Amino acid sequence: MDGCGATARGTLPAVPKPAADSAALGLGVDRTSPVPLYHQLAQQLEAAIEQGRLAPGSLLGNELDLAARLGLSRPTVRQAIQSLVDKGLMVRRRGIGTQVVHSRIRRPLELSSLYDDLETAGRDPATRVLRNTVEPATPEVAAALGIDEGGDVHLVERVRYAHDEPIALLRNHLPPRLLDLGTERLESTGLYRMMRASGITLHSARQSVGARAATAEEGELLAEPAGAPLLTMERTTFDDGGRAVEFGSHVYRASRYAFEFQLLVRP
């Protein structure tokens, strides 16, 4: 639930990377499997993207060559690639070929910041601050932060990018005078990092996850059409003294982002 660095410019590298080698990627199909051959290939390509073996900007190579190396028909290879194009993981570019756009961001549900998670995953996080102001606390914000309704509260609203592509729209309310929230700092590091640097020890959070359709304004900011599915997350974070230090209300592009849960069997 936090901030980071420079403004987004484009979604793909200016110079395409060399075509990927199918052997190096470990591509191959099992003809004895009941799973359709195109689906096997699509799954392997998607795994290569998710694991970083096919990085954003990589070219997949010629369909005919790939089909010949794998002993598949060209329609089978084309169907596999098209399924990944439909998922938004690849794009066909005239004069260039099929190119990897990105992998979906999978984030564990734990008390961590989006900025830190993206940086750890090598996703080149960046932030654009939309609003950085003090405003009266609404009943919802006042209840979450334990302050008086109508009292001053600091609002920070940002768009978070990964590899120069918008991923999330972040709204954070914080108690006034909690820490220095200069716009330049918010665009160069994460909010949780700023808190830790100010001596705030984050201890726990109360969080809920949901989904809804994007508004026209959200769609424009996140490069999605109005009505596109968005994941939502609300989080109230507490320090080690039990004080609420931030209330975040965030939306994420469902086409680019997913939450991961680890479930344990109760004894």
Q: Which domains does the chain have, with CATH numbers?
A: 17-95 (1.10.10.10), 105-260 (3.40.1410.10)
Overall average pLDDT of the 88-94 stretch: 77
User: Which tens digit of pLDDT belongs to each residue from 127-149?
Assistant: 999 999 999 999 999 999 999 99
**With a threshold of 0.75, does the pTM exceed it?**
no
Q: What is the share, in percent, of the chain residues with pLDDT greater than 90?
A: 33
Mean pLDDT score of the chain: 80
Overall average pLDDT of the 195-210 stretch: 90
How far is Cα 67 from Cα 81, in angstroms, rounded to an integer? 11
Cα separations in angstroms, 90 against 57, 93, 240 = 9, 10, 44
Overall average pLDDT of the 83-94 stretch: 78
User: Which tens digit of pLDDT belongs to each residue from 32-80?
Assistant: 888 888 888 888 888 887 777 777 778 877 788 888 888 889 899 899 8
Task: Tell which wins on pLDDT, 76 or 27.
Answer: 76
Residue 171: per-residue pLDDT? 96
Residue 106: per-residue pLDDT? 55
Residue 213: per-residue pLDDT? 95
Task: Tell which wins on pLDDT, 48 or 17.
Answer: 48
Among the residue ranges 73-77, 87-91, 152-156, 165-169, the one predicted with the least confidence is: 87-91
What's phi and psi for 130, nearest 5 deg?
-95, -45
Residue 264: pLDDT above 90?
A: no
The 3-state secondary structure of the chain reads: CCCCECCCCCCCCCCCEEECCCCCCCCCCCCCCCCCHHHHHHHHHHHHHHCCCCCCCEECCCHHHHHHHHCCCHHHHHHHHHHHHHCCCEEEECCCEEEECCCCEEEECCCCCHHHHHHHCCCCEEEEEEEEEEEECCHHHHHHHCCCCCCEEEEEEEEEEECCEEEEEEEEEECCCCCCCCHHHHCCCCHHHHHHHCCCCEEEEEEEEEEEECCHHHHHHHCCCCCCEEEEEEEEEEECCCCEEEEEEEEEECCCEEEECCCCCCC
CB atoms within 10 A of CB 239: 17
What is the identity of the amino acid at 167?
I
Q: What angle do CA 120, 126, 130 make, to 5 degrees?
A: 140
Residue 217: per-residue pLDDT? 96
What is the identity of the amino acid at 24?
A
Residue 151: pLDDT above 90?
A: yes
Task: Tell which wins on pLDDT, 11 or 145.
Answer: 145
When pLDDT is cut at 50, 70 and 90, the band that residue 18 belongs to is very low
Residue 85 exposed, middle or buried by CB count within 10 Å (0-12, 13-18, 19+): middle
Among the residue ranges 78-82, 121-125, 216-220, the one predicted with the least confidence is: 121-125
Task: Tell which wins on pLDDT, 266 or 173.
Answer: 173
Q: What is the share, in percent, of the chain residues with pLDDT greater than 70?
A: 78
In a 13 Å sphere around the CA of 155, the CA atoms on its Cβ side amount to 16
Residue 262: per-residue pLDDT? 62
How far is Cα 223 from Cα 185, in angstroms, rounded to an integer? 25
